[in-house]
């Protein structure tokens, strides 16, 4: 199910992401590689590698943005919850299911309500404006891949800028303006890479701490995850990244069933 939230903050963050990545690509190709590696095979190799990371970054971002994060479908007939202590006489589909008074339905364990998405999301981690979507059971993998690609691209850009200072720039020697423009773009792209790089690496670390402790961000705040039995780390990673070969975990594609499919709720049954 392709979805897109009408959230101004989400629109702004997505445009900013695209602008920042395309600006970094422009600077690296036009002002770093073309100025210092023109005619060399290394120049072509770096253009290819840098743009391959950008392609994977955009693909994982698009899947994180447009994927269903794990919306719990609304029942065919909603229950009237007159007060929060009553379940209206209805019986939960299973013992461990809880009530969402906003959706007026029972929801599976680990599902939480997102006020921006206006739905209960399975294994909801948090709502992220950078993907204009919730991070939940079905798209956490793409979200983490997006973070890792942004981190990798930032480090790559900083390395290329740093390396370019030790290389002759033919255009810069002839024209002072070319030299000044290159310096300005290099400083801007380095600052951008440091800022975004540190930001995404911090969030990625939080994500992996959450996966290994088997607790989503919501559960950490509400202190709901500590009672769960401990599982091996590889099994916890496979729950997020799929049961395919671990090499495939870094690619933005579907690799084996990662989640359970819940039946459509119908309280008449």
Binding site for Zn ion (CB under 5 A): 100, 102-103, 113-114, 116-117, 120, 127, 134
Residue 258 is classified by DSSP as: -
Least distance in angstroms from the C-beta of 69 to Zn ion: 7
Least distance in angstroms from the C-beta of 106 to Zn ion: 10
Report the C-alpha gap between 84 and 161 in whole angstroms: 58
Report the C-alpha gap between 157 and 192 in whole angstroms: 10
Angle (nearest 5°) at CA 147 between 154 and 130: 105
Least distance in angstroms from the C-beta of 5 to Zn ion: 7
Q: Is the dihedral of CA 29, 32, 36, 37 positive or negative?
A: negative
Nearest to 190 by CA among 32, 12, 48, 78: 32
Residue 147 or 161 with smaller CB distance to Zn ion: 147
Least distance in angstroms from the C-beta of 117 to Zn ion: 3
Least distance in angstroms from the C-beta of 49 to Zn ion: 34
Catalytic residue among 100, 114, 128, 134: 128
Alpha carbon of 111 to those of 23, 70, 130: distances in Å? 38, 9, 21
- Let me know if 128 is a catalytic residue: yes
Kind and range of the H or E run holding 105: strand 105-107
Nearest to 132 by CA among 215, 73, 203, 62: 62
Task: Write the CB contacts of 16 (distance below 8 Å, at least 6 apart in sequence).
Answer: none
User: How far is Cα of residue 215 from the mean position of the Cα atoms in its chain?
Assistant: 17
CB 60 within 8 A of CB 152: no
DSSP per-residue string spanning 35-52: HHSTTSHHHHHHHHHHHH
Least distance in angstroms from the C-beta of 36 to Zn ion: 44
Residue 121 or 160 with smaller CB distance to Zn ion: 121
Which residues does the annotation mark as catalytic?
128
């Amino acid at each position: 199910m392709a979805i897109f939230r009408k959230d101004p903050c989400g629109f702004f963050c997505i445009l900013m992401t695209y602008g920042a990545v395309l600006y970094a690509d422009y600077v690296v190709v036009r002002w770093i590689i073309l100025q210092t590696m023109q005619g060399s095979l290394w120049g072509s190799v770096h253009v290819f590698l840098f743009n391959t990371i950008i392609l994977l970054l955009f693909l994982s971002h698009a899947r994180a943005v447009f994927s269903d994060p794990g919306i719990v479908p609304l029942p065919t007939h909603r229950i009237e919850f007159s007060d929060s202590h009553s379940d209206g006489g209805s019986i939960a589909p299973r013992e461990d299911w809880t009530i969402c008074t906003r959706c007026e339905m029972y929801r599976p364990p680990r599902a939480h309500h997102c006020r921006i998405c206006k739905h209960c999301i399975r294994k909801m981690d948090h709502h992220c404006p950078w993907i204009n979507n919730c991070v939940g059971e079905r798209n956490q993998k793409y979200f983490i891949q997006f973070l890792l690609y942004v981190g990798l691209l930032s480090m790559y850009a900083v390395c290329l800028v740093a390396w370019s200072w030790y290389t002759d720039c033919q255009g810069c020697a002839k024209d002072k303006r070319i030299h000044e423009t290159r310096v300005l773009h290099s400083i801007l792209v380095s600052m951008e890479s440091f800022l975004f790089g540190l930001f995404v690496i911090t969030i990625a670390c939080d994500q992996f701490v959450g996966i290994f402790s088997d607790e989503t961000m919501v559960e950490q705040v509400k202190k709901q995850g500590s009672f769960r039995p401990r599982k091996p780390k590889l099994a916890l990673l496979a729950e997020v990244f799929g049961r395919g070969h671990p090499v495939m975990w870094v690619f933005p594609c579907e690799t084996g069933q990662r989640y359970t499919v819940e039946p459509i709720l119908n309280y008449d049954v």
